[in-house]
Amino acid sequence: MVLLKLENITKRFGGLIAVNDVSLEIEHGELMAIVGPNGAGKTTLFNVINGVYPPDEGRVIFNERDITRLPAYRRAPLGIGRTFQIPRPFSSASVQENVAVGAMFGTLAGKVSVDGCLEIAERYTELVGLEAHKNKEAGSLTPVEKKMMEIARALAMKPKLLLMDEAMAGMHPKDIDEMVRFLKKIKKEENIAIVSMVEHIMRAVAGFANRVVVMHQGAKLIDAPTEQALSDPRVVEVYLGRP
């Protein structure tokens, strides 16, 4: 059974076509990278999957359920988690409380008490290496720490699908390798399908994803296993233009 199925998704903003007839299937536990230059439509696609806005055409099917028009807040409990390109912490709350929000309103919503959520939050905070900061105000963290907290918060939701928006942007290559190892460990332990969106960090893509989707000007250009996708001449064209 396919976890997420996008059928002919099209999204326009005024006269601009941000996503152009994109169809995609993601399996349970798959590790995928969506690659493409700025303006390729990646964030828009994520937003449609998340429910930030509905597509103009097409359907989003999650676990065999049509969620195309479902409001955003009802998708989290179904198992769709998200981290943002620029972290969006709840600044005045502590790190542990931030992560606890994920546990409270994600797939565990209604099943765990507030204290239970705080415990879960503690575990994930430790997992991302922030246990020393767990009682600090989230707003006081460094950008990298905020990114890690975002990931912990999304993981606390116990999602089946994790959409990571440029999670590795601005990271040192060593940190990227760390992150890739970390994500692979997560996927193994929690069996989450992780879709990572990257602009161009091939190091991240190569080590991490089984499958790569290349987007260009809103449309899906390539959808293939990693090695194949990265050696496709069109990828170079997309980033550097025709020689």
Partner 1 sequence: MKRTIPKYYPLIPVFAAYLIMFIIGFTMPGMWQMVALLAFYCALGQSWNIFMGMTGYVDFGYVTFIALGTYGMALGVQYFYQIEGLGIGIIFIGIFLALFLASLSAILEAAIALRLRGAYFAIACIGINEGLRYFIEGAKIWGGSEGIIFSGALTEAVGREVANQLTTFWADFAVFIIAALAAFLNVHYMRSKIGYALTAVREDEDAAKVMGINTFKYKTIAFLTSGLLGGLVGAMAWGLKLTHVFPGDVFVIHYTVECIVVVLLGGAGTLLGPVVGGLIYGLSKYWLAVILPGFQLLIFAPIIIAIIVAFPGGIIGLVKQRIKGTPLERYIV
Residues that bind partner 1 (CB under 8 A): 50-52, 71-77, 82, 84, 88-93, 97, 100-102, 104-106, 109, 114-115, 153, 157
> Which tokens belong to 158?
């116990």
**Where does residue 186 fall: left (phi above 0), alpha (psi -120 to 50 degrees), or beta otherwise?**
alpha
Q: Which residues of 151-167 are buried (b: 16+ CB within 10 A; e: fewer)?
A: bbbbbbbbbbbbbbbbb
Which CB atom, from 78 or from 202, has the smaller least distance to partner 1?
A: 78
Nearest-approach distance from CB 60 to partner 1, in angstroms: 15
Which CB atom, from 86 or from 144, has the smaller least distance to partner 1?
A: 86
Nearest-approach distance from CB 107 to partner 1, in angstroms: 9
Nearest-approach distance from CB 147 to partner 1, in angstroms: 14
Nearest-approach distance from CB 106 to partner 1, in angstroms: 6
Which CB atom, from 86 or from 236, has the smaller least distance to partner 1?
A: 86
Which CB atom, from 88 or from 181, has the smaller least distance to partner 1?
A: 88
Asked whether 42 and 205 are in contact (CB, 8 A), the reply is: no
Query: How many angstroms separate the CA atoms of 168 and 178, rounded?
Result: 10
